């Protein structure tokens, strides 16, 4: 029995439905198919009936209904004829991952998925206990497919999960590499970089195969060429690529060579420095080679010399010159990256800082911190020479290079660094607060990590290193005491009483509030660590409110975290804020609006407003016009919202 | 049975919330001190308070536990039920916030009174037994059938015209007149047929811009289904009108025409089971573009009969926000009255009340014992179901397996049991389960039963299974 005649007839019926059965009498192909099926009609009753129905198509008046019936029966027959045995050659399974199915509901799965990609890094985000959920096979493909989005949560998870899962995850990561479409955010190239970061040399053959495919997207080939930096043995291959490739592939080869620094590449660096083009800056920046270092040193010294000459009156300075000097200096600082042999540049910079400050002092450039960033960024590479360099430059210029030195101590000794540099911390309060502002509590890895913000996006290359540096597991008492220190605004309190100008004091308080708020947000409510941090933050916020209110202490700490306060306890906060702050410079209405956000009863808010109204006349340093304006606003509120 | 606010747990709040966003919003309100005042009655059967809103005055929110089920009231304008403020007041309760003791507000007391009266009336009606249909309702039912018959003529004209002209010929001008015809069908109580017609037009329009063989075949299949539905519905209605029996009966045609069953109707025609013990095997949200709705589908197994049924929570795109979403269910559901819809192998089920208990070792072995005897037998049953034009194109069954392995050639899964094999393939309802299967631990893929949707692949002329979940001796591993 040739069942194919049945399938051919079925196909013809579908074709007739597509073309229309108005002219079915002229459809010879269908007729032939029906004829060919005739022998089958004797095989069984159903086939017989099917044949009769198809034959009737050419005689019936209602062809459309008849055709629909024929197709319906053909479909039913096709189902009954369907086979099911699968004789494929099989193997037991593909991956050996330590994933574990979890008993979690679909909604919960969706929530976890959302928190993975939302990038939210606060209370509602992914927590360590969610890690188990992520090991559910239902979530794992989602996790892998979305890794390229680079949210903080995904990267923290990747840092924990990928090393744990071992080499068996490599095929899954490789599967994400689409050789046809690069995808959003250069998705595909990201996975090449990810494999190279976690599995380095193990995937060397794969990188080579991606490079070999000349038709592969350029960004994938470039990422694969960069991945060859995983082994010195690739040097000759990279050199060959440098000489044979063009465009992004050639650039990638040059960068890889800069990292590998094989002796054979010296002629490239000679060419780059002698026939200099601005596009070579990136290779020079990446290279540790002496030729590049010499070039970078000269450029750096020239930039400094330029500043000196201007200050000494040898050159007149126009606005454009100032911009040029800023650009030169910025470029020179970038060029001395990753060159342990250039420690003299750091000494010279500190010596010449007085000139730099005068000449190249654009609003966005804090050159002192930029130099510190270069030192700090070098620490990401595990090279003891950079550590030695930091120690030396700090010894000579302790104030200048304090951030780099302190960070090195943190990296080497953890929280003991705070004890070691206890005195210096208070002396460098603002810088310390800015460093602490970049630490985030990582709920996945349970610890405080230095975030990407600290190094800035200056060089744009270290995306995969972000959040890699653990500062401490639990907030040390010494750190909490430092952040919540009130010595600089409450006389006779705090560890080190420092006299400070009003404006500077405000900046310090703002930093401290910001640091405390971000820790409180990151920590999981209910934990000891959360309680410790929130209690200290609230105590600090009330002190700030009493002595030098900036309003942020109410908005950022008291309103969101002082959840157990009663309506009465919130009384006086806004009044203090008005009394402590400089009313003329800041919007008064904003302060009154904060009253609305406080969890107080209507009556308490009204009474509070009446009291504010009563204190307006007594406000010092507020002129009569401002007082008038304040009064009219308060009374307007008392007449409308709080009538 | 009266309860108190002491019964509030995070799980309860989650189960009551209409959607996950409502939970997040409620948490936000609670965490940021959204409540200005919080009160409880002396016996804690009512908690209430004032919540800050976007308006001048706050919202009066309450959660009342005095009845059989909690009742939520809020003066906010939200159409979500319960609203975020009602959920937030419960979060306030479980977070241990201070609730001052106060008397029941007057408006709540009045509303409680109304509920009690309504319940008493319902009890009286239930005690007096099922109502006989009145003359008016019989005549209305007859009129409805006659109207439907007129609509079926219209639908027949539609499908005949399309098949005569050819489905590929639907273009701009003809699709406008077809749309008009589909719109007219709205007056004839045939929403399901109207949905098929609209889908036919949509698919045809897409096809005219992007020709695709697979979609063309789907379009033809839709026309065939419409034609069959019209034909069978006409026969059904004509027979009913001839006999003068216009009451509902156990047939899928009622739903095929767009009828919606009430639980009381199902009970009247005997489609219910008492004291059923059900276990959910899977839960998935299926995007039904034809009906423009998300259908939350759960497959359940009856621990006594082994029948695989399904729950469907239909949430149309337009009103999804206001319809409570369902979630996966764990444990054994002991259901006093289980209502079953007319249908074939995987009937739709519903219930009003149930009690839940955890799964025990015996439950797992009971489920495993209800798996099909062999792959061949399962396929035979499936074919009987799938060949019906009006039935669904998939049927869920529990297949036993010795192992699930993967083809060396392309990595597709193969289920093996006592010398028989069947291929695993994704379908539209469960597009990701096949790629999740190889990630499962090795032991999950040995000796168990697989819940899967069997379907016919017309290109390959084969029956495949789309995996959904795996039952083991101590666990149900859900793949979706």
DSSP-derived secondary structure for A556-603 = IIIHHH-TT--TGGGTTHHHHHHHHS-TTTS-HHHHHHHHHHS---HH
Which residue in chain A has the smallest CA separation from B159? A64
Q: Which residue has the higher pLDDT, A394 or A445?
A: A394
Cα(B17)–Cα(B24) distance, integer angstroms: 10
Count CB pairs under 8 A between chains A and B: 211
Q: Are B55 and B297 in contact (CB under 8 A)?
A: no
**CA separation (Å) from B284 to A105, A448, B147?**
10, 38, 37
Contact: B414, A20; criterion CB under 8 Å:
no
Interchain contact, B479 vs A137, CB within 8 Å: yes
The per-residue pLDDT string of chain B (480 residues; one tens digit each, 9 = 90 and over) reads: 567 888 898 888 888 888 878 888 898 888 777 888 899 999 999 999 999 887 667 899 999 998 878 899 999 988 888 999 999 999 999 988 888 999 999 999 999 899 888 888 878 877 776 666 677 777 888 888 899 999 999 999 999 999 999 988 887 778 888 998 899 888 999 988 999 999 999 999 888 888 888 899 999 999 999 999 999 999 999 988 888 776 777 788 888 777 788 898 899 889 999 999 999 999 999 999 888 999 999 999 999 999 999 999 999 999 888 888 889 999 999 999 999 999 889 999 999 888 899 999 999 999 999 999 999 999 999 999 999 988 889 999 999 999 999 998 888 999 999 999 999 999 999 998 998 898 888 899 999 999 999 999 999 999 999 999 999 999 999 999
What mean pLDDT comes out for the span A235-256? Answer: 92
Residue B227 and residue A18: Cβ atoms within 8 Å?
no
Comparing B247 with A9, the larger pLDDT belongs to: A9
Enumerate the residues of chain A whose CB falls inside 8 A of the CB of residue B160.
62, 64-65
Q: Find the range with the poorest average confidence among A48-62, A488-502, B110-124, B290-304.
A: A488-502
Q: Does any domain span residue A247? A: no
A117 domain residue, yes or no: yes
**Greater pLDDT, B204 or A459:** B204
Nearest CB among B379, B412, B442 relative to A84 is that of B379
A188 in any annotated domain:
no
Whether the CB of A67 is below 8 Å from some CB of chain B: the reply is yes
| pLDDT band at A496; cut points 50, 70, 90 | low
Q: Which domains does chain B have, with CATH numbers?
A: 5-127 (no CATH), 135-255 (no CATH), 262-369 (no CATH), 375-478 (2.40.50)
Looking at the structure of chain A, the number of domains it has is 3
H/E element holding B239?
helix B213-243
**CA A74, CA A37: separation in Å to the nearest integer?**
12
Which of A172, A192, A211 delimits the end of a domain?
A172
Own/partner pairs for B323-326, CB < 8 Å, 24+ apart? B323/B18, B324/B16, B324/B17, B324/B18, B324/B19, B324/B81, B325/A107, B325/B18, B325/B19, B325/B20, B325/B296, B326/B283, B326/B296, B326/B298
Q: Do B406 and A91 touch (CB under 8 A)?
A: yes
Average pLDDT for A101-130? 71
Structural domain including A168 reads 106-172
Q: B interface mutation test: which of A19, A46, A57, A75 has the most B CBs within 10 A?
A: A75
Q: Residue A430 contacts by C-beta under 8 Å, 6 or more apart in sequence?
A: A507, A508, A511
Does A525 reside within a domain? no
Contact A64 B36 (CB under 8 A): no
Angle between helices A384-396 and A343-351 (to 10 degrees): 20
B283 contacts A63? CB cut-off 8 A: no
Q: Across the interface, do B414 and A88 touch by the CB < 8 Å criterion?
A: yes
pLDDT higher for B119 or A6? A6
Decide if A312 is inside a domain.
no
Residues of B in contact with A106 (CB under 8 A): 283-285, 327-328, 480
What is the per-residue pLDDT for A74?
96
What is the rounded CA–CA span in Å between residue B27 and residue B333?
A: 30
Q: Which residues, at least 6 apart from B460, have a Cβ–Cβ distance to it below 8 Å?
A: none
| Lowest-confidence region among A165-174, A389-398, A579-588 | A579-588
* Closest Cα in chain A to B99: A566
The three-class DSSP label of residue B440 is coil
Q: How many angstroms separate the CA atoms of B222 and B216, rounded?
A: 10
Q: Does the pLDDT of residue A333 top 80, yes or no?
A: yes
A21, A84, A560 member nearest B163 (Cβ)? A21
- The mean-pLDDT minimum among A445-454, A525-534, B74-83 falls in A445-454
Determine the Cα–Cα distance for residues A120 and B24; give it in Å rounded to an integer: 13
Test B462 with A124 for CB contact under 8 angstroms. no
Q: Which of A72, A100, A137 lies nearest to residue B389, judging by beta carbons? A: A72
Interface touch A18/B285, C-beta < 8 Å: no
| 8 Å CB contact of B164 and A22 | yes
Q: What is the pLDDT of residue A495?
A: 54
Q: Does residue A608 form part of some domain?
A: yes
Q: Looking at the partner chain, which of A62, A78, A80 has a beta carbon nearest the beta carbon of B458?
A: A78
Is ipTM strictly over 0.85? no
Please judge whether B383 and A78 are an interchain contact, meaning their C-beta atoms are less than 8 angstroms apart: no
d(CA B174, CA A366): 70
A60 near B CB under 8 A: no
Candidate from A24-38, A313-327, B11-25, B59-73 with smallest mean pLDDT: A313-327
Considering only alpha carbons, which residue of chain B is nearest residue A83? B462
Q: Of the candidates B98, B167, B283, which has its C-beta nearest A18's C-beta?
A: B167
Contact A93 B442 (CB under 8 A): yes
A110 shares its domain with A76: no
Q: How far is B239 from chain A (nearest CA, A)?
A: 20
Domain's final residue, options A172, A192, A226? A172
**With an 8 Å Cβ cutoff, are A75 and B227 in contact?**
no
Q: Look over chain A and give the mean of its residue pLDDT values, rounded to a whole number.
A: 83
Contact A106 B420 (CB under 8 A): no
For residues A272-293, average pLDDT: 86
Report residue A633's pLDDT band, with 50, 70 and 90 as the boundaries: confident
Query: Chain B: nearest CA to A114, how far in angstroms?
Result: 11
Nearest-angstrom CA–CA distance, A273 and A374: 22
Distance CA B162, CA B165 (A): 5
Q: Do A17 and B444 touch (CB under 8 A)?
A: no
CB-closest option in B95, B223, B444 to A68: B223
A151 falls within a domain: yes
Residue from the list A17, A99, A101 with its beta carbon closest to the beta carbon of B220: A17
For residue A129, say if its preceding peptide bond is cis, omega within 30 degrees of 0: no
Range with the poorest average pLDDT among A69-78, A156-165, B66-75: A156-165
At residue B34's C-alpha, the angle toward residues B29 and B36, to 5°, is: 155
List of chain B residues whose C-beta atoms are within 8 Å of the C-beta of residue A90: 405-408, 414, 416
Residue A459 counted as domain residue? no
User: Long-range contacts made by residues B124-132, C-beta under 8 angstroms, separation at least 24?
Assistant: B130/B264, B130/B268
Last residue of a domain, one of A121, A149, A172: A172
Q: Which of A248-252, A270-274, B307-311 has the lowest mean pLDDT?
A: A270-274
Shortest distance, CA B449 to any CA of chain A (angstroms): 16
Quote the pLDDT of residue A66: 95
Subunit contact B327:A107, Cβ cutoff 8 A? yes
pLDDT computed for residue A188 by the predictor: 81
In this model, does residue A234 exceed pLDDT 90? yes
Nearest CB to A82; choose among B58, B160, B463: B463
B252: closest CA among B228, B220, B224? B228
CB–CB of B462 and A84 under 8 A?
yes
């Amino acid at each position: 029995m040739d069942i194919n005649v049945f399938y051919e007839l079925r196909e013809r019926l579908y074709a007739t439905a597509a073309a229309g059965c108005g002219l079915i009498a002229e459809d010879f192909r269908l007729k032939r198919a029906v004829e060919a099926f005739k022998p089958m009609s004797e095989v069984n009753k159903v086939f017989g009936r099917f044949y009769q129905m198809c034959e009737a198509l050419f005689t019936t008046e209602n062809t459309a209904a008849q055709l629909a019936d024929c197709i319906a029966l053909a479909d039913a027959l096709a189902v009954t004829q369907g086979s099911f045995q699968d004789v494929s050659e099989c193997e037991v399974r593909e991956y050996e991952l330590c994933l574990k199915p979890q008993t979690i509901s679909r909604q919960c799965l969706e929530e976890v998925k959302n928190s993975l990609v939302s990038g939210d890094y606060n209370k509602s985000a992914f927590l360590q206990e969610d890690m188990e959920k992520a090991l559910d096979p239902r979530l794992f493909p989602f996790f892998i497919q979305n890794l390229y989005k680079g949210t903080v949560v995904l990267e923290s998870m990747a840092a924990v999960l990928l090393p744990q899962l071992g080499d068996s995850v490599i095929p899954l990561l490789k599967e994400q590499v689409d050789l046809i479409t690069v995808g959003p955010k250069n998705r595909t190239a990201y996975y090449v970089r990810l494999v190279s970061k976690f599995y380095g040399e193990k995937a060397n053959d794969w990188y080579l195969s991606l490079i070999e495919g000349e038709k592969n997207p350029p960004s994938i080939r470039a990422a694969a060429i960069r991945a060859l930096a995983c082994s010195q043995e690739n040097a000759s291959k990279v050199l060959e690529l440098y000489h044979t490739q063009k465009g992004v592939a050639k650039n990638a080869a040059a960068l890889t060579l800069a990292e590998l620094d094989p002796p054979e590449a010296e002629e490239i660096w000679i060419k780059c420095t002698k026939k200099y083009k601005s596009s070579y800056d990136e290779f020079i920046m990446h290279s540790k080679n002496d030729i590049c270092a010499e070039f970078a040193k000269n450029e750096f010294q020239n930039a400094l010399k330029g500043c000196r000459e201007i200050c000494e009156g040898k050159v007149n300075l126009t606005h454009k010159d100032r911009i040029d000097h800023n650009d030169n200096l910025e470029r020179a600082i970038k060029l001395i990256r990753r060159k342990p042999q250039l420690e003299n540049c750091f000494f010279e910079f500190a010596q010449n800082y007085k000139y730099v400050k005068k000449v190249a002092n654009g609003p966005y450039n804090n050159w002192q911190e930029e130099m510190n960033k270069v030192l700090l960024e070098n620490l990401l590479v595990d090279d003891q020479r950079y550590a030695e360099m930091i120690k030396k430059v700090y010894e000579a210029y302790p104030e200048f290079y304090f951030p780099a030195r302190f960070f090195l101590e943190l990296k080497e000794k953890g929280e003991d660094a705070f004890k070691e540099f206890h005195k210096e911390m208070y002396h460098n309060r603002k810088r310390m607060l800015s460093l602490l502002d970049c630490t985030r509590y990582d709920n996945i890895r349970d610890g405080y990590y230095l975030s990407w913000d600290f190094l800035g996006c200056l060089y744009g290359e270290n995306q995969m290193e972000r959040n890699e540096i653990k500062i401490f597991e639990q907030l040390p008492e010494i750190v909490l005491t430092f952040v919540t220190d009130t010595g600089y605004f409450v006389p006779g309190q705090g560890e080190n009483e420092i006299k400070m100008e009003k404006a500077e004091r405000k900046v310090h308080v703002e930093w401290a509030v910001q640091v405390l708020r971000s820790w409180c947000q990151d920590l999981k409510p209910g934990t000891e660590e959360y309680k410790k941090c929130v209690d200290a933050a609230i105590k600090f916020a009330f002190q700030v409110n009493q002595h030098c209110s900036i309003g942020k202490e109410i908005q950022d700490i008291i309103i969101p975290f002082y959840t157990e306060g009663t309506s009465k306890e919130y009384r006086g906060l806004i009044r203090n804020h008005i009394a402590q702050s400089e009313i003329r410079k800041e919007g008064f209405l904003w302060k009154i609006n904060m009253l609305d956000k406080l969890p107080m009863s209507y009556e308490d808010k009204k009474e509070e407003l009446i009291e504010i109204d009563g204190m307006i006349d007594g406000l010092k340093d507020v002129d009569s016009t401002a007082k008038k304006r304040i009064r009219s606003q308060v009374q307007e509120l008392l007449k409308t919202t709080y009538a | 049975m009266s309860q108190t606010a002491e019964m509030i747990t995070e799980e309860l709040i989650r189960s009551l919330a209409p959607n996950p966003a409502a939970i997040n919003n409620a948490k936000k309100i609670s965490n940021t001190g959204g409540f200005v005042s919080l009160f409880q009655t002396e016996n804690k059967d009512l908690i209430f308070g004032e919540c800050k809103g976007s308006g001048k005055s706050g919202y009066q929110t309450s959660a009342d536990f005095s009845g059989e089920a909690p009742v939520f009231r809020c003066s906010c304008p939200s159409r979500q039920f319960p609203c975020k403020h009602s959920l937030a007041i419960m979060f306030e309760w479980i977070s241990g916030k201070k609730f001052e003791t106060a008397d029941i507000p007057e408006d709540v007391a009045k509303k409680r009174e109304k509920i009690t009266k309504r319940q008493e009336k319902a009890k009286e009606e239930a005690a007096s037994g099922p109502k006989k249909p009145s003359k008016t309702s019989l005549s209305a039912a007859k009129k409805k059938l006659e109207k439907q018959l007129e609509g079926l003529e219209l639908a027949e004209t539609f499908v005949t015209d399309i098949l005569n002209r050819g489905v590929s010929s639907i273009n701009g001008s003809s699709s406008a007149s077809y749309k008009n015809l589909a719109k007219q069908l709205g007056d004839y109580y045939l929403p399901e047929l109207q949905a098929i017609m609209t889908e036919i037009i949509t698919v045809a329009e897409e096809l005219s811009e992007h020709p695709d063989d697979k979609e063309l075949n789907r379009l033809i299949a839709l026309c065939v289904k419409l034609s069959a539905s019209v034909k069978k519905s006409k026969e059904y209605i004509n027979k009913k009108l001839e006999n003068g029996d216009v009451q509902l009966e156990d047939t899928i045609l009622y739903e095929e025409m767009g009828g919606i069953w009430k639980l009381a109707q199902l009970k009247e025609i005997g489609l219910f089971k008492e004291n059923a013990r059900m276990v959910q095997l899977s839960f998935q949200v299926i995007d039904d573009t034809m009906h423009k709705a998300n259908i939350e589908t759960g497959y359940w197994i009856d621990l006594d009969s082994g029948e695989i049924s399904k729950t469907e929570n239909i949430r149309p795109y337009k009103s999804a926000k206001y319809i409570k979403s369902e979630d996966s269910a764990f444990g054994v559901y002991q259901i006093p009255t289980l209502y079953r819809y007319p249908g074939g192998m995987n009937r739709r089920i519903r219930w009003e009340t149930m009690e839940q208990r955890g799964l025990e070792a015996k439950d797992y072995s009971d489920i495993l014992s209800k798996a099909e005897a062999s792959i061949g037998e399962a396929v035979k049953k499936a074919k009987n179901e799938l060949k019906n034009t009006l039935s669904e194109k998939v049927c869920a069954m529990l297949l036993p397996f010795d192992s699930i392995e993967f083809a060396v050639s392309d990595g597709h899964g193969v289920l093996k049991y006592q010398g028989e094999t069947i291929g695993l393939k994704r379908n539209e309802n469960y597009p990701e389960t096949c790629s999740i299967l190889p990630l499962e631990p090795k032991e999950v893929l040995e000796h168990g039963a697989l819940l899967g949707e069997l379907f016919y692949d017309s290109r390959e002329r084969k029956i495949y299974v789309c995996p959904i979940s795996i039952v083991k001796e101590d666990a149900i591993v859900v793949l979706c």
